Amino acid sequence: MLIMMAAVLLPSMAQEVEVVSRQRLLEGVEGPAYYPVLNQAGDRLLFLSENGSLKFYDLTDNVTTTVTDGYVAGNDACWGGDGKVYFVTQQVQENHLIYRTGQLFDPTTHKTAQLTEPQHGAVRAVAASRGGALKAPGGRDYQSQSDIGSAAWTEGNRVHVTVNGEERVFTPVDSWAGYLWASLSPDGKKVAFFAAGKGIVVIDLRGQMLAMLGNYEMPCWYNNDYLVAQNAKDDGHQFTSSQIVLLKADGTWQTELTKPASMAMQPTCGGGKIVYTTIDGLLHEMKINIYE
């Protein structure tokens, strides 16, 4: 009887989250900032300025550096496992087609290197546990070394996962407009991604579905058990609300970290920190405690 009662009560036991601190970043120093990307340690941050230039902010030294004045689209920059920045610039050429170029920035030397020739078609910057890669059409890829470790990325309605040098391709759910925002959990055992029309999906390294977390966007792993995501609403023309939410990776629990009226969006996680921006491009850093 006691075991049966425990089994009934366990799912309803409330978890609690405490927001320990919340602060503005780069207030009065930078203009609007979008698409922030924290490194794993949480001490370095990439972000895009209003005109699409890519910048790098060292949270320890409180110094901001321009990586490139070229145009970088949202989600086209990432931190590699080697601590370097892999990114893609875009340029419209005479034929009115967009050409994309894969590049590398070293925060230690502040030097930039071109990794791929300008090419028409999608070029994706992919973070990996031992470095980074650029996925390009026609097999014109680049990777930092022969074995980049573990990685995850999406192409159309497929999620690609590299494990121990082996590439696996999965289509665990139907999606009318494809997948976005794939990432590995910190321990490399799970993959989360967004499927249009379905929401956030969590799978294992064999492509087996573990959970569906709801129709939220831009998932990022807070730790191995929790993800942070954006919950945005619109009227077909503009955003009407947007907030940051915390989701348990098994799909059993969720809570809001900001109110819908905050217009908070585009979260990123690293080193126990959560950084997000607002619709006006105001960067914020948040720290939380989770009690179970």
Model confidence over 157-198: pLDDT tens digits? 999 999 988 999 999 999 889 999 999 999 999 999 999 999
- Residue 112 confidence (pLDDT): 96
The residues that bridge with 275 in the sheet, in sequence order, are: 268, 285
Percent of the chain past pLDDT 70, that is, above it, reads 95
- Residue 93 confidence (pLDDT): 86
User: How sure is the predictor about 136, in pLDDT bands with cuts at 50, 70 and 90?
Assistant: confident
- Residue 15 confidence (pLDDT): 85
* Cα pseudo-dihedral 56, 150, 223, 208, rounded to 10: 140
- Residue 38 confidence (pLDDT): 98
CA–CA dist 94, 114 (Å, integer): 21
pLDDT at 252 over 80: yes
pLDDT at 219 over 50: yes
Span 232-247, average pLDDT? 96
- Residue 14 confidence (pLDDT): 58
CA distances to 28, 86, 103, 173 from 197, in Å:
39, 29, 33, 10
Residues 6+ apart with CB under 8 A from 214: 199, 200, 247, 254
Q: What is the pLDDT of residues 66-120, one digit of tens each?
A: 999 999 999 999 999 999 999 999 999 878 899 999 999 999 999 999 999 999 9
Q: What is the pLDDT of residues 138-154, one digit of tens each?
A: 778 899 998 999 999 99
DSSP-derived secondary structure letter, 220: E
pLDDT at 229 over 70: yes
**Mean of per-residue pLDDT scores for the chain:** 92
Quick one: which of 101, 103, 68 has its CA closest to 85?
103
SS3 letters for 12-58? Answer: HCCCEEEEEEEEECCCCCCCCEEEEEECCCCCEEEEEECCCCEEEEE
- Residue 232 confidence (pLDDT): 97
DSSP string, 231-277: EEEE-SSSEEEEEEEEEETTSS-EEESS-GGG-EEEEEEETTEEEEE
pLDDT at 269 over 60: yes
